[in-house]
Amino acid sequence: FFRPSLKEISQRGELVFASAYAIERGDSRQQQFQQILRNLGFTVKLKPYIQRSDGSAKGDWDVGITIDVLDAAPKVDEIVLASGDGDFDLLLEKVRECYGVHTRVYGAPGLTAHALIRAADEYVVIEDGLLLR
């Protein structure tokens, strides 16, 4: 998904920022994947994996992604978000309203919140042509 998507996005104009967000669990396969993303040009941002005493886990980038998008919005023409999280609908509406930024969401069918699809100027279904082989 990442390589074909970056190529498609770059054909639309200059790619200014490309960030990937992950939870650091110390897993070697995850670290390999993060290195692949770096090699593609992504800035990989990591948060520590937190195991709570009750057995639940915490690792969420919603606020970090929101801050990065709000920081970038005045400097770009388009925000591209690969997510299915409906919590980002308000963020997309805000950057369009305040900065006139075009918003594009890449999401998997059946896993992308309808609120996010409605909030985006453009919704791109992640399908076979965009998946890494």
Domains in the chain with CATH codes: 2-130 (3.40.50.1010)
Residue 52 has φ and ψ, to the nearest 5°, of -80, 160
Q: Beta strand 78-82 with 102-107: parallel, antiparallel or unpaired?
A: parallel
Query: Of 23-32, 87-96, 124-133, which gets the smallest average pLDDT?
Result: 124-133
103 bridge partner residues: 79
More confident residue, 7 or 14: 14
pLDDT band at 51 (very low <50, low <70, confident <90, very high): confident
pLDDT the model gives residue 133: 43
**pTM, rounded to two decimals:** 0.83
Q: Would you give the distance in Å from CA 131 to the centre of its chain? A: 15
Rounded Cα–Cα distance for residues 66 and 87 (Å): 10
pLDDT in tens, 54-101: 876 677 899 999 999 999 999 999 999 999 999 999 999 999 999 999
Query: Under 8 Å CB-to-CB from 73, ≥6 apart: which residues?
Result: 79, 95, 98, 99, 101
